[in-house]
Structure 1
Amino acid sequence: MSMLAQDAVSIEKASAVLKLMGDKTRLTMLRILADHDCCVCEFVEIFQMSQPSVSQHVRKMKDIGMIKEQRRGQWIVYSLNEKFDGYSMIQSILKQLPDQDHHLEELIQKGKRVSCN
């Protein structure tokens, strides 16, 4: 009998995580969140999608625990959930992807980057 790595996740959990990460929009959101906290309104602008569509993507990731939310004034900002039991798996995948800072730089240039501090 082999010993599982300390941070190993179940096949069911891994499958659910990979299914969510298999969507290009959610994968891009996660890659952005690996480096920066964001709110839904910023994702609306970045992806040029409706707020309900963006919120649906965010809700799916939040429901499984991949991301967490925090209220900052009038804004709710999202970030990766370091306490999620699949966090190290997510991190290892996201490290293989190019950063998505250009999306946030475009928001800053348009004056649409939310300052929630």
Structure 2
Amino acid sequence: MSKSLIEMDKAAAILKLFGDKTRLTMVKMLNSNDCCVCEFVEIFKASQPAISQHLRKLKDAGVVKESRRGQWIFYSLNKSSEYYPLVQNILEHLPDQDDRFKELEAQGLRISCD
């Protein structure tokens, strides 16, 4: 069984993206749930443009993908990306973030863009 290798510069670019705690947390959260920008805005207490910028960088790198549901765009982990095995390996070593979704639900803010 051979593993597909990622070029060193591409791996470095992914790891650089993950050097930002917000982006790393977003990716970990997207590993178990799809999210829209408004949910991340609430979770991180950040501006919509700042959250969109993080998501754009992750999307441009192929780590996340987006899908439209009505007028809203939801983000999810891109499991068909050549980087997914690397991403998955990194995420295995990080703590679960599901409590953040539970907090949102408790505040009635889960999928607050409906």
Give the TM-score, by structure 1 length: 0.92
Give the corresponding residue for 1:14: 11
Paired amino acid for 1:28: T
Give the corresponding residue for 1:37: 34
Q: Does the CA-based 8 Å contact 1:43-1:54 persist in structure 2?
A: yes
Asked if residue 102 in structure 1 is aligned to residue 114 in structure 2, the reply is no
Give the corresponding residue for 1:88: 85
Structure 2 unaligned blocks of 5 or more: none
**Counterpart-to-counterpart distance in 1, 2:5 and 2:28:** 21
1:40-76 superposed Cα distances (whole Å, 9 cap, x missing partner): 0000000000000000000000011110000011211
1:8-51 superposed Cα distances (whole Å, 9 cap, x missing partner): 11101100000000100000000000110000000000000000
**Counterpart-to-counterpart distance in 2, 1:75 and 1:111:** 18
Paired amino acid for 1:74: Q
**Counterpart-to-counterpart distance in 1, 2:28 and 2:4:** 21
Give the TM-score, by structure 2 length: 0.94
Q: Percent identity?
A: 57
Structure 1 unaligned blocks of 5 or more: none
Question: How many Å apart are 1:115 and its aligned residue?
Answer: 7.3
Count of residue pairs brought into register by the alignment: 113
Structure 1 segments, 4+ long, off by >4 Å, are none
Question: How many Å apart are 1:83 and its aligned residue?
Answer: 1.4
Give 3-state SS (helix, strand or coil) of 2:67's partner: strand
